[in-house]
Amino acid sequence: MLRRNILNICAVAVLLIGIPSILSAQLTPYWVVVNQANPVSSMSKDELSRIFLKRTVRWENGELVVAVDLPEDSETRIAFTEAIHGRSVRRVKAYWQQQIFSGRAVPPTELSSDEQVLAFVSSNETAIGYVSGEAFIGGNVKVLRISEGQ
């Protein structure tokens, strides 16, 4: 009887330990990544939005920021755009059309997959991108902590 109770308690403990990681994966639809050599480890949503809208074009050390996007129809891009910019992909696209027409800026380069974003960021010290929350993060990239504040 005691042995069965201990086994039941262990089974419940294993389930409870796994729940946070499952919930975390469901609550994190994307990871923002930079090259491992980049000294930045966190930034606010506002700072991140400014980088991807090219309102901020340089890192604190003076190097040019190279931001890369996923395709417009990517679920990860949709989640990132709504969470970081507070707008739909369509509205951000309209913003870029105005920027292009006025000769101010062009949008970040679009790469077609998480793997391409990770490879690009891995090989470019000034790059920043985002990938799905399910992407394997390793090698020469690190995940940034993103805060709500400015």
pTM: 0.81
The H or E element spanning position 109 is strand 109-110
Each of the 150 residues of the chain gets a pLDDT tens digit; together they read 555 555 445 444 434 444 444 444 446 799 999 999 999 999 999 999 999 999 999 999 999 999 999 999 999 999 999 999 999 999 999 999 999 999 999 999 999 999 999 999 999 999 999 999 999 888 899 999 999 866
Please state, in angstroms and rounded to a whole number, the distance separating the CA atoms of residues 29 and 69: 15
Closest CA to 113 of 83, 50, 68, 66: 68
Domains of the chain: 30-147 (3.40.190.10)
Q: How far is CA 83 from CA 30, 116, 119, in A?
A: 10, 22, 24
| Pairing between β-strand 42-44 and β-strand 145-147 as defined by DSSP bridges | parallel
Site of tokens 């891995």: 122
Answer yes or no: are the C-beta atoms of 128 and 121 closer than 8 Å. yes
Residue 33 burial (10 A CB sphere; 0-12, 13-18, 19+): buried
